[in-house]
Structure 1
Amino acid sequence: MNLHSHILLALAFGLILFHNDITLAVLVGIGAAIPDLDREYVFTKRKIFAKYQLHRALFHNIFFALAVTYFNFYLGLGIFLHMALDLLTSPTDRGVELFFPLGRLIKNYELDYHGNIRKSKGMMWYLEDPVSIINKTADPGLKEIVKMPWIRIYGPFKNSRLVDWMIFYSSFVFIQLYELNHLVKWWELFLYTVFVKYIFITIGIVLFYFTGELWRRRLQFQNVNNKLKYIIIGVMALGLSLILFQGIELYSPMRPIINFNTLALIILSMLIGLFLAYIHVRLRFKKVTL
């Protein structure tokens, strides 16, 4: 989904969950802006970026989201809301690679996109990624240059189409109606929080995404000189630095929900369960498909 849809929906959720606490709601909105830092805003050949397929993976996975949640619960909540929306998007938009990078440890798949069965001695994913659809419809930096297993989660909706814009407008309208009794005061507090209290993060987000989108959508297809490239890199680096500069102040580790012993038991149980499941599936089907 579009970045503004992510931010507004997260802001609306924050207001509901935290009883009109604008500061906490804004933090949830900031968190929702974080995952798209893994877009193809890099100065490298598009084929190289496409080879590693980092968008909707590097900062769109459950491990990154949990790490940020530990750093600051409200930022983490925003990331989870962002991921939930992107789970609804199509293969063209690349869905979400929820278990990156662990999912990439297994590279084989059993069934290709045309229904042909492939043989492999090791563990396999079940399906091939729908490469023909992706390479016909995705942005240049998101096309797959090698065949890959279907390890992403896709939905039925397209970025920047009806559902995306419905979420954006609905979230905006909801916020106005939800705060209707004191709307002017709410806007004053909201603008103060965004442009005064979190001014460095706000400027950083605007600089990074505006410049990155300018490069991604236009300049990378033009014959730009090195001087302009360095300016763009500098602006994006400045934006990211401002985000990190003030973001460090938001460190507020949440108390563990479960203790270490329970966590160790969970991990041990999962490892034993994986081993038993592997033996079970291998004996029954003579091959191991996830």
Structure 2
Amino acid sequence: MGGTISTLVFQPPPATFLHNKKHFWLQTRNQHRIPVFHVERSSQITILFSHGNAEDLGLIYEWFYDFSRQLNVNVLAYEYSGYGKSEGTVSEDNCYADIRAAYDYLTTQKKTPPKQIVLYGRSLGSGPTCQLAQELAAAGVELGGVMLQSPLASAFRVAFNFRFTMPGDMFPNIDRVKGVACPMFIIHGTRDEVVPFWHGQELFLGTPTKWRAKPFWVDGAGHNNIEALLREDGTLFERMNDFLDKWVRNDLSADFSSAS
């Protein structure tokens, strides 16, 4: 993709501190070393998290340590090339290579079955999340599920309400959700000032009916304050747990019963 749009889409913050004992390194197919952290809870479910634009692993570690406790899940979060301590430069293709390295680590080194993996992308992270979900579905791999928070339909559509995906557009999630073959849960604030609310609505409608979990439209929330608005009453964790219980844990329990 062109340098101009990449500069607009990717806005990495100054690298924040993440203690060496809290992360380790993976190498991507594009030959970049990226840091990841893995919070283990001995859970059946592992969340593979793709973070938003103006953040890195150092900014999200404490939140996801608590997140893993609240939902009783394992969490693997990775860094994008060009963000934080990572090598390389930021680009759409590098993001896809980054998430694939994290997924391959889970499935090959940790021996985590794909049905026990839930992809979770926030904002910019919805791009690599949807790309990997579609790629795996096309290969016949069944994931546990996908969660998208404040997702974009595509990069160009953040500024323009295009009816079709234009040449050069990045992260065309609106086209990719049609090929997803696992439960999809979408969270979006109704007053999102960065990625308009209609993006979440269109992605929900674009998802095959079979896989549409009830979305969570957060009334009055913007782009960056969903966690803050809902933290005190626990509503965000409650709705995520509802999704995991109905669409993921029940399915895993059924598989276990059949195998017994």
TM-score (normalizing by structure 1): 0.23
Asked which structure has the greater RCO (Cα within 8 Å, sep 6+), the reply is 1
More strand by share: 2
More helix by share: 1
